[in-house]
């Protein structure tokens, strides 16, 4: 099945989804007294190589079927002629473009749009007031003065110009929904250095934009509300609960490893295990002919004890270990770090082990696969279980839990002090991923709606290893502000 195309199997699911989604939107259209004045179909499709014109026509027809003939339906693409020809090939679409703060190239940008679709309003539907962050990268901060001055220049350039700011309010990639390109995926926070922060706070950028827009309107701005209250709930001790390898779920058997999607495991993790015919000692040399995105490699011995040997990331396909003692299986936990969300790569974005695996030059056969549906619910908190875990299970893959009591609800930020890289849940809400070793995000936003009066529970899955090694002092801390590296 080819995504973002007129492939019948793909369009079957698009149609099924639109049949549910679009009727929910219709009451909120402007013509029905609602706030929605335009509806966008697709996003920057001109950057996606297949350029399927039939697909765009089918999307348009579906939207009109459910939304009627009055609402304005539009596309968004970069200000490049080739992108516009692909992304807005159906003339029934209203064509818009997207670009960030600039002054020197504004005439050329709108010249491209005018040549492609003449005599329509000029719309920048994504005026970038900030930018997204990726793991291991910097935290992007865009000058408020630059954003405001460039916006003023854009508005003054022509009465035909219309602008929509992206993002005006920052957000959060809760759960496994961060996505991203390669080699690194987006962080959990989608604060975007927006005028209104991820936590709903007004920023200096907001104040300058407010002054500009109200001045141009010639009216006095209304009084602003105070920023939302945040609370530092303090330190919470974490205790060992279980391990990802203790997942209890149906096993799928196959001569060769199957991709995660074939087992309907579209996010998170999957366990692959393969027997070693004769117990091995000494060293192993593993060669992967396809793996995405990260492979955590363990070996198991006859007593059921597992040893962690290391991880492979993305393009690395060779793994060697010289510390092998009487192993009977090789077990791999694959990690999906987020699906590609821009460009052609998403068409080939399968996860897990995506090709043969060789051990010391011979292909490994007879695989067992277990999808990890909900890592936070694995295991119990009984003391006897925890003692056995400490003795048997390596640090990567461990699951910890903690409880804390509060008598006032407020937004907060969780700092996984003792941990390196993994995921966090609060009261069953998947807060998202963290990576303390690379940043730039060091704390995760927790809205007060995820908390409750009385006892609250935190669960942390550690995928790398402790920053602080003392197992008796493992903890997280709640703060009243965000922290960037």
C-beta neighbour count of 210 within 10 angstroms: 16
The pair phi, psi for residue 319, each rounded to 5°, is -135, 135
Q: Are 297 and 277 in contact (CB under 8 A)?
A: no
Q: Given 44, 184, 335, 462, which residue is catalytic?
A: 44
Residue 387 CB burial class (10 angstroms; 0-12, 13-18, ≥19): exposed
Residue 421 CB burial class (10 angstroms; 0-12, 13-18, ≥19): buried
For the chain, the distance separating the N- and C-terminal CA atoms, rounded to the nearest angstrom, is 41
Task: Mark whether 145 is an active-site residue.
Answer: no
Indicate the DSSP class of residue 409.
-
- Packing angle, helices 106-116 and 144-157, rounded to 10: 50
167: cis peptide before it, omega within 30°? yes
> CA torsion 226→219→125→206, rounded to 10°?
-30
Task: Mark whether 44 is an active-site residue.
Answer: yes
- Distance (Å, rounded) from C-alpha 414 to C-alpha 477? 6
Q: DSSP for 274-326, please give it.
A: EEEEEEEEEEEEEEES-EESEEEEEEEETTS-EEEEEEEETT--EEEEEEEEE
Pairing of strands 72-77, 94-99: parallel
Beta strands in 342-420 (DSSP E): 352-353, 357-359, 362-363, 367-372, 398-406, 412-415
Q: Given 42, 126, 198, 462, which residue is catalytic?
A: 126
The set of catalytic residues is 44, 126
């Amino acid at each position: 099945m080819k995504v973002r195309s007129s492939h019948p199997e793909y369009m079957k699911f698009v149609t099924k989804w639109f049949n549910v989604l679009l009727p929910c939107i219709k009451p909120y259209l402007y013509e029905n007294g609602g706030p929605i004045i335009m509806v966008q179909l697709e996003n920057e499709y001109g950057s996606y190589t297949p350029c399927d014109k039939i697909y765009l026509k089918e999307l348009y027809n579906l939207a009109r079927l459910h939304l009627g003939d009055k609402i304005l339906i539009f596309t968004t693409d970069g200000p490049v002629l080739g992108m516009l020809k692909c992304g807005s090939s159906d003339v029934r679409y209203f064509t818009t473009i997207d670009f960030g703060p600039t002054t020197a190239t504004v005439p050329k940008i709108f010249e491209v749009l005018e040549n492609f679709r003449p005599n329509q309003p000029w719309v920048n539907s994504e005026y970038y007031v900030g930018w997204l962050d990726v793991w291991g990268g910097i935290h992007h901060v865009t000058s408020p003065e630059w954003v405001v001055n460039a916006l003023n220049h854009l508005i003054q350039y022509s009465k035909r110009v219309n602008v929509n700011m992206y993002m005006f309010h920052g957000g959060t990639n809760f759960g496994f929904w961060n996505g991203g390109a390669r080699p690194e995926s987006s962080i959990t926070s989608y604060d975007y250095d927006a005028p209104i922060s991820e936590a709903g706070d007004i920023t200096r950028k907001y104040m300058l934009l407010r002054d500009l827009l109200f001045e141009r309107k010639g009216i006095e701005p209304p009084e602003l509300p105070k920023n939302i209250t945040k609370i530092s709930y303090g330190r919470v001790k974490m205790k060992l609960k279980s391990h990802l390898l203790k997942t209890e779920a149906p096993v799928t058997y196959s001569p060769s490893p199957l991709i995660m999607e074939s087992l309907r495991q579209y996010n998170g993790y999957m366990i692959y295990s393969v027997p070693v015919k004769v117990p091995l000692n000494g060293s192993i040399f593993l060669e992967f002919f396809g793996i995405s995105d990260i492979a955590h490699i363990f070996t198991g011995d006859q007593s059921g004890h597992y040893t962690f040997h290391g991880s492979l990331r993305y393009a690395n396909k060779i793994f060697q270990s010289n510390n092998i003692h009487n192993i009977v299986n090789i077990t791999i936990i694959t990690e999906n770090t987020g699906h590609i969300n821009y460009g052609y790569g998403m068409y080939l974005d399968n996860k897990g082990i995506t090709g043969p695996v060789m051990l010391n030059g011979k292909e490994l056969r007879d695989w067992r696969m277990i999808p990890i549906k909900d890592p936070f619910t694995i295991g119990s908190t009984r003391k006897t279980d925890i003692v056995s875990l400490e003795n048997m299970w390596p640090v990567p893959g461990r699951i910890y839990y903690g409880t804390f009591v509060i008598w006032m609800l407020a937004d907060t930020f969780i700092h996984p002090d003792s941990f390196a890289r993994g995921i966090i849940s609060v009261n069953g809400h998947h807060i998202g991923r963290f990576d303390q070793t690379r940043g730039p995000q060091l704390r995760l936003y927790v809205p007060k709606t995820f908390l409750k009066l009385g006892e609250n529970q935190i669960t942390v899955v550690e995928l790398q290893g402790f920053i602080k090694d003392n197992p008796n002092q493992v903890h997280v801390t709640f703060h009243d502000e965000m922290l960037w590296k």
